[in-house]
Amino acid sequence: MPQGRIVKALAGYYYVQDGDTLWQCRARGVFRKKGITPLVGDEVTFETNGTEGTVTEVSARTSELVRPPIANIDQAILVFSLAEPVFNPQLLDKFLVHTEAAGVDAVICLTKADLLAEPEEVERILKRCKAIGYPVIVTSSKGKHGIEDIRAYLTGHLSVFAGQSGVGKSSLLNALFSELQLETAPISQKLGRGKHTTRHVELIHLPEGGWVADTPGFSSLDFQSIEANELALYFKEMRALLGECKFRGCLHVNEPGCSVRAAVEAGEIQSARYKHYLDFLQEIKDRKPRY
């Protein structure tokens, strides 16, 4: 039976790419019974009558993200604008926790560099991001800046562009691939954020090899599947210190002999990152139980 990859899911249909052919497929009812939802990125087996198809099997996934919903990515490009909307370091740290939890590599992409008049401001944000230990790329789709740097990261990978709406994800993909004409929208001056122009997750096959997904933006991201005692594992610079706290089960808040707090005090961990750790820990403790 033919096999392919789901590149788009829309209105109950899955679009499966097999070589140069795109098959419009339904999913078998058995998936619903088993609680499996096929995702964009899934490798699937399907049957076809020559025009339409039916997805009959979903292969085991190497990774899975809930927001945006996508399977088998090995890399997330976290897209954050330097301005319009203003750079949001807390949201960046939240995304980083989620990609770490999913076991996916992250690349930070700072967009709209042309809008920041002060080079010192860009330097400050860039330095902060680099110090966490992730690759950082500064881009401008308008000024065609940093586009080739992004391309180098995409080749051969299955990547997702993730970030708030209006930060310039679709514009960046259009700048990367001139034959693409993804819809983009000006951000609302009143709300200071983007409109949701990209309404679904869609995988694009790269001419150089690999795949990249454009995704809709979203305004919130929660920690439903992350427990308080694992949160520090998803802060890269804290993970290395975790065996060194005096108490097992240390949550790094005010326990004596805490190696994380010692590193914050010594300036080895950025205090802003630690503050976000405490914010997220509180958010996890305050969350309503799920039934």
- The annotated binding site for GTP is made up of 111-114, 163-171
Strand partners, 70: 65
Cβ distance to ligand GDP smaller for residue 77 or 206? 77
Minimum distance from residue 271 beta carbon to Mg ion (Å): 34
Minimum distance from residue 81 beta carbon to Zn ion (Å): 34
* Cβ 164 vs Cβ 85: under 8 Å: yes
Partner interacting with residue 260 (select from ligand GDP, Mg ion, Zn ion, none; CB below 5-8 Å by kind): Zn ion
User: Is 238 a residue that touches Zn ion (CB under 5 A)?
Assistant: no
Partner interacting with residue 114 (select from Mg ion, Zn ion, ligand GDP, none; CB below 5-8 Å by kind): ligand GDP
Minimum distance from residue 217 beta carbon to Mg ion (Å): 7
Among 72, 141, 159, 198, binds Mg ion (CB under 5 A): 198
Q: Where are the alpha helices (DSSP H) in the chain?
A: 29-34, 89-102, 119-132, 147-154, 169-176, 236-239, 259-265, 271-286
Nearest-10 crossing angle of helices 119-132, 89-102: 30
Among 58, 79, 104, 250, binds Zn ion (CB under 5 A): 250
Q: Where are the alpha helices (DSSP H) in 19-107?
A: 29-34, 89-102
Closest CA to 231 of 212, 250, 217: 250
Residues forming contacts to ligand GDP in the complex (CB under 6 A) are 111-112, 114-115, 140-142, 163, 165-171, 184-187, 194, 197-198, 217
Distance CA 108, CA 63 (A): 19
Q: Which residue in the block uniquely carries the two structure tokens 């820990």?
A: 281
Cβ distance to ligand GDP smaller for residue 63 or 171? 171
Among 91, 260, 263, 264, binds Zn ion (CB under 5 A): 260
